Chain A
Amino acid sequence: MTAPDERRFQVYPRGYVRDNVLLQVFRNHLRSLTNPDTGAAFTEDEIARATQPGSRFYIEADAIDVLGQMWQRRGAWFADQVRPTRANTAFLEGYHGELWLGSNPRLAATGGSGAVSAPASAGSVFPGSSTVPDPTGTAATATDPNGYRYQVLETVTTPAGGVATLQMQAIDTGDATNIALDTVLTWSTNQPVGAEPTASVSESPAFAGGYDEETDSELGARIERRIRHRPAGGNAAHFCAWAERASVSVEAAFVYPCAFHAGSVLVAVLQKRGATEGPTARTTVGVAVLAAVTGYLVPPASPVVPERAYVLVTACNPQTSDLVLRAALTEGATGGWADVDPWPAYSVTYPEVIVTGVASQQEFTVAAVAGSLPGGAGSLSGTDAPQLMLWDATTSRWKQLDVTSVTDDGGDQFTIVLGTAPDMTIATDCRLSPYTDRLDVLAESIEAYFDELGPGEVVDLDTDPRAPRAARYPRATNYYSSRAGQVMLARMIEALGGATADVELTSISRSEPDLPGDISDGPNIVVLGNVSIFPL
């Protein structure tokens, strides 16, 4: 790899000035002098001894070098402050942030939000407030098992069924407020008469949108985007900047000007992943996040957009993409394929080895090439059994299987029996691959690649008359590409380092998102679906 062009000015390595002083100046000068003891010129040996490490001249020259290094370090440090993504906190907030984004540029932490089922007698009223925390103190609040507080956003009257569905948002902030499905919330204040003491997170997706305070690198990147895409007079870049300023949970905003008609704007937001697992972490935008962006951008309530504009804020709709990959890893080795003869291998007839039937979470069948078990065996068990892993599409990770036996059932069917059930739900359509202990490194690099993608278009750029205006801003060719493809391999090879010789993307079920049927639904985005990986 070539060294990046780090500095626009010359920097000297430690010892450069010292050696310059000693070798070029000092030693050269000594050569012109006469040794008073011998009456002859100093010999090279004498000169070398007088200037060797530990000699006073060496120490003095080294001290000059150290002093120069100190001043050079200050120069390099100051040069770093010019670039927002390298500046330290004080310069970032006090200089770049103040200059480009105004005072207090850093976005505050937000709390997660989502739907909660609250059992109560019909007619009980859960008081809510869209201002969090409620200044009047009338909204009902609850706490989760960790003690974080949540507030009801809108007043809801319990229907005849006896269960009220409430939209709640965390009063406390941070990633920990993205509570999981079935988390129990205990009412703490303003519990309505007739309500049960607890409620629970009921609807999938669970709470989303809770995020810690904007980090230096996120703020630096936002400032750079602000510089690169100049917002002015409500142009597309201005809408992007407004949306990204509305909530710290917004990773990026994409603008489709005039998508509906002249004077209309469609804004699609992606949410930061944070600690959330799964392929839809960025597309499942929290209620409160969407409300914050909507409140900031949609007139007449918007503080920035004039009232005649028609603005619609949406999330992006995920469209999964299934991958078949082949990696050249060492076989039968740590850091490669665990088995000497990995099974199943890739074949054109069975490019994916798919679970066809599930008897229990410890026994299932897959379809693969008939008679393909290593050595043509009818059944392999114990230490002879192939080591396998199964793709968990809900978390985008492989799970290692504790294989007891693999039996060839004839035809293309194989029964796999496990010693223990894996930490996932085995269902038909799951993808089976031979096991490698690099499973998490591979999965994380694939996930990281898909997290670099952005949404596609909402109108057909080739045929639609709105295309010149309604194309996505920023353009997909500029950043946040909407196309998934070969670049993924570079990410995987980077992540694997020396462990792999090559990785091949054998097939990808979707490389580009479709146009949405209804623009109001927002654009589509390619997200990670099922992944199979085989030896190359």
Chain B
Amino acid sequence: MNVAGFTVAAPAQLADPSPLLCDNIDPETRDFASLTTGADPIDSQVEIALSRVRNSGPSVVYDGSRIREVKKMDDNAQDQARSLVKEALSRLVANRDIRHVGTTFDLWEVGSQSGQLRVQYVNLRAGNDLVRSVTLTMFGG
């Protein structure tokens, strides 16, 4: 681009689709629909912590997980996945929002192309001791 005699870089294009999706807006009230519907805010944060790619943008430098970095289903992959889940949930655990019960591996075979793991936790803010879980499917590189 040429502006007043100076060459400036073209504005950066955001990756498509944007990693930060907008909320649904209630057409009647113009409120964010998710304010009063949907998941418990802590459950939602667990989901974000496990699904968002850590450091994929300046607003999620310390949020999200690096679990997609596990590329090889070798002998160490389970330990690696456990450790990355712990890192992803560390803020919520430190904040006494959840208790991390454990990480189990539902479908997991060394050398295969994919695996499935289950993260179990207790939402300490919800007022009951129900163990909730999030299931993650991983694809080997």
A and B: bona fide binding partners: yes
Contacting pair A49 B125 (CB below 8 A)? yes
A258 to chain B, nearest CB (A): 43
- The reply on B70 being an interface residue by CB < 8 A is no
Residues from chain B with Cβ under 8 Å of A35 in the complex = 36
Residues from chain B with Cβ under 8 Å of A50 in the complex = 35, 41
- The reply on B20 being an interface residue by CB < 8 A is yes
Residues from chain A with Cβ under 8 Å of B23 in the complex = 56, 60
Docked CA distance A289–B80 (Å): 68
Contacting pair A33 B44 (CB below 8 A)? no
Docked CA distance A236–B70 (Å): 73
Query: Given A49-B125, A63-B20, list of 13 further CB < 8 A pairs?
Result: A36-B37, A45-B125, A54-B63, A55-B41, A55-B44, A56-B23, A57-B32, A59-B48, A60-B20, A63-B57, A63-B59, A65-B59, A66-B57
Contacting pair B36 A94 (CB below 8 A)? no
Binding site for B on A (CB under 8 A): 29-30, 33-36, 45-46, 49-50, 52-57, 59-60, 62-63, 65-66, 90-91, 94-95
B-side interface size class:
20 to 34
Q: Which residue of A lies closest to B41 (CB)?
A: A50
1/0 per residue, CB under 8 A from A, across B1-43: the answer is 0000110000000000000101100000001101111000110
- The reply on B136 being an interface residue by CB < 8 A is no
Contacting pair A54 B49 (CB below 8 A)? yes
- The reply on B95 being an interface residue by CB < 8 A is yes
Docked CA distance A45–B42 (Å): 12
- The reply on B122 being an interface residue by CB < 8 A is no
Chosen A-B contacts, 13 in total, with CB atoms closer than 8 Å, are A30-B35, A33-B35, A36-B37, A46-B41, A54-B91, A55-B41, A56-B23, A56-B34, A62-B58, A62-B59, A65-B59, A66-B58, A91-B6
- The reply on B45 being an interface residue by CB < 8 A is yes
Interface of A is mostly: helix
Docked CA distance A105–B60 (Å): 46
B8 to chain A, nearest CB (A): 10
Q: Which residue of A lies closest to B29 (CB)?
A: A33
Residues from chain A with Cβ under 8 Å of B97 in the complex = 49
**Given known A-B contacts A46-B41, A59-B63, A60-B23, A52 and B95 have beta carbons under 8 A apart:** yes
A259 to chain B, nearest CB (A): 44
1/0 per residue, CB under 8 A from A, across B61-87: the answer is 001000000000000000000000000
A140 to chain B, nearest CB (A): 47
B140 to chain A, nearest CB (A): 28
Residues from chain A with Cβ under 8 Å of B95 in the complex = 52
B99 to chain A, nearest CB (A): 15
Residues from chain B with Cβ under 8 Å of A65 in the complex = 59
- Which of B5, B20, B91 is close to A53, meaning CB atoms less than 8 Å apart? B91
Q: Which residue of A lies closest to B19 (CB)?
A: A63
Docked CA distance A35–B41 (Å): 12
For the complex of A and B, 10 pairs with smallest distance between CB atoms = A62-B59, A50-B41, A63-B59, A66-B58, A49-B41, A63-B20, A54-B45, A54-B63, A59-B59, A54-B91
Residues from chain B with Cβ under 8 Å of A54 in the complex = 45, 48-49, 63, 91-92
Q: Which residue of B lies closest to A66 (CB)?
A: B58
Contacting pair B58 A94 (CB below 8 A)? no
- Which of A49, A55, A59, A94 is close to B20, meaning CB atoms less than 8 Å apart? A59
Docked CA distance A36–B95 (Å): 26
